Structure 1
Amino acid sequence: MTALTKYARLEASGLWRASPQDQRREVVISVGEATLTISDMRDKPITHWSLAAIRRANPGQRPAIFHPDGDTGETLELDASEAQMIDAIEKLRRAVERTRPRPGRLRWAGMLLSLALVAALALFWLPGALISHTVSVVPQVKRAEIGDALMVRIERMTGPACSDPAGTRALRDLRARLGTGPISMVPGIIGTSLHLPGGRIVMDRALVEDYEEPDVVAGFALAAHTMARQSDPLRDLLEVTGTWSGFRLLTTGRLEGDTLDRYAEHLLTGTRAQPAMSGLLDVFATASVRSTPYAYARDITGETVLPLIEGDPMSGKEPAELLSDADWLRLQGICGG
């Protein structure tokens, strides 16, 4: 998005509060890849707002007051002196709005489709057909919004995503090297890695702290990225949360908060499928990443991952560097040690 690139390094100060009962705090606001980051005066992130879900409480007035979609109690106030940031947020909101499907059209399409199927089949709406249709029509911006909402709920259980600046830069470099979606590192309890709607990958800090080389975390990132292509994360969500969730998303463009809460808990506690090893070897070969370290991290005995060890595409070769030694040390410290 051209508008996002233009404002990628823009920062401003403002006043933020989590609820009407809380006292306003002075904060620093910066524009990220898909979010507006709100940090305290020590540059420690407090919260992230999805650019696709920012609403303005007082259009055309200064100071400008913004809030997340659906939560008017949490507010961000920007003084008139921060005109550049205000204009940037407004421009990004308009840019996102242009890519958003018209809710009315989506609602009517869902209603007409449901009536047509009921009339044709004279049966209750088939769950599989509903989920498949919903997955096919939900746009990327809505998937990213759902992924951001899930990330907020995951952070409530794992703790906030690690945000050491040097480690974050190293993580961005690794992501660029691998060609995956955004990667977030959390303090713990997820075990390995998760993939969310919208392309976000969530990883456990142990993947960088418990191993001596970046090949392991790179392997889990590639595995999550591959799994997301083999099994649509939005379809996984709807199959777990039920047909009604798919119907609600199709007709209103929204998922209820308790639905997202239940799925976030499922992601952290449920059994996770693994991508097919044959396809995974192709991914490792394309990315020039060794599969053996990842395989032994999955199974220290190597018995259940033998194809990944014997078929390592980089065996006997010198793969391109994932990270410099200095950046690897920085990444290992992304959660503060």
Structure 2
Amino acid sequence: MTALKKYARLEATGLWRASPDAQRREVIVSIGDATLVISDLKDQALTHWSLAAVERANPGKTPAIFHPDGDPSETVELPENEGEMIEAIETLRRAIEKSRPRPGRVRWMGVLASVMLVGWLAVFWLPGALQDHTLGVVPEVKRVEIGRALLKRIERVSGPVCSDTGGLAALALLSSRLQAGRLAVLPDMAQDSLHLPGDLILLDRGVLEDFEEPDVAAGYIVTELSRRDASDPLRDLLNVAGLRENFRLLTTGVLSEAALDAYAEHLMTAPATKPDLAAQLARFERAALRSTPYAYARDITGETTLSLIEGDPMNGKLTEPLISDANWLRLQAICGS
């Protein structure tokens, strides 16, 4: 998007609040690659918001208050003297909004054309071809929306996402170090880790609190990344939801509540798929991360994870700490007491 390049170096000072009961703190707001980056005064990223999902709580008023779509509890305020950044965000929001399909005659013609196309595919191609077509046209913003909807359902069982401010900042640092995208920690998840559409990886608090070093939690993250590399998370969802939901998503852009409920339950109860060992170890090597701590965390005897121990790409090599000890302690306390 041309507008993104125009504002690539723009920065502004604002006030960020992670939740309604959290203290506001001064931050630097900048525009990244399709994201709004919120950093502390030491230039350490606190959070990233997708530009496609940024909403303004008080249009036309100052200080301008922005929040992620669907989550007005987290806000950033930009004062009147940061008018250039406010206008930049509004310009990008308008550009994204214009790119979205509009209701009306053109939309109905598009829906009709999609229905005809789907009918032809259903007759002459295998269901896999229909699924491939759907995955090819679903935009990233829709994947993020689906991932967020699944997370809300998982939270009903696991409890709400852990949101200690210091812990979130440390989590952002770990995500940046591993190039893992969006991470979230849940207090009582049935699985150690999960990945959802929209580049979202979930961790149970136990993988942070039950171990003395961050390499174990990082191992769970890297392993989820290797699973995500092997199979598109949205494809996994459609495989479980079936052909009807595939058709619904392609023609209407939404999945039924029942399908989302069923898939969230599936994620929480189905055994995790075993990643390809070579791909998994390649991910560890790319992250310059030891696989041995993760292997012993999975099996204290090492018997069932011997291949991860013997194949450790960092064996005999010096590795840099993932995060500082202070940030590791903050991360372990992300869910509070």
Category of TM-score, reference length = shorter chain? 0.7 to 0.9
Deviation at 1:97, TM superposition (A): 2.5
State whether structure 2 residue 121 is matched by structure 1 residue 107.
Answer: no
**Counterpart Cα distance in 2 of 1:322 and 1:197:** 26
Q: Distance in 2 between matches of 1:156 and 1:8?
A: 37
Shift of 1:95: 3.8
1:152-191, Cα deviation, whole Å (9 max, x unpaired): 2222221111111111111111111111111001111233
Report the equivalent of 2:42.
none
Q: Deviations over 1:252-294 (max 9, x none)?
A: 1111222212211211111211211121111111111000111
> In the aligned structure 1, how far is the partner of 2:12 from the partner of 2:190?
30
Counterpart CA distance in 2 for 1:215 and 1:314 is 12
| Structure 2 counterparts to residues 171-210 of structure 1, below 5 A | 171-210=171-210
TM-score, with length taken from structure 1? 0.75
Supply the distance in 2 between the matched residues of 1:212 and 1:50 (Cα, whole angstroms).
33
Q: 1:106·1:250 contact (CA, 8 Å) conserved in 2?
A: no
2:316 corresponds in structure 1 to 316
Classify the secondary structure of the residue corresponding to 2:295: helix
Return the TM-score normalized by structure 2.
0.75
Cα distance in structure 1, aligned partners of 2:96 and 2:14? 18
Unaligned stretches of 5+ in structure 2? 39-48
* Matched residue, 2:293: 293
SS at the partner of 1:217? helix
- The answer for the alignment partner of 2:241 in structure 1 is 241
* Aligned residues between the structures: 309
Q: 1:66 to 1:248 in 2, by over 3 A?
A: farther
Offset at residue 57 of structure 1 (A): 11
Q: CA deviation at 1:129?
A: 2.2
Please give the secondary structure, in 1, of the residue aligned with 2:203.
strand
Which piece of structure 1 moves more, 279-288 or 90-99? 90-99
C-alpha displacement of 1:115: 3.1
Distance 1:252 1:298 in 2: 42
Give 1:1-337 correspondences, 5 Å limit: 10-11=14-15, 52=52, 90-98=90-98, 100=100, 104=107, 107-118=111-122, 121=124, 126-337=126-337
Given that 2:121 and 2:129 are in contact with CA atoms closer than 8 Å, whether structure 1 keeps it comes out as no
Contact preservation (8 Å) 1:101, 1:139: no
Residue segments in structure 1 that go unaligned for 5+ positions in a row: 17-24, 38-48
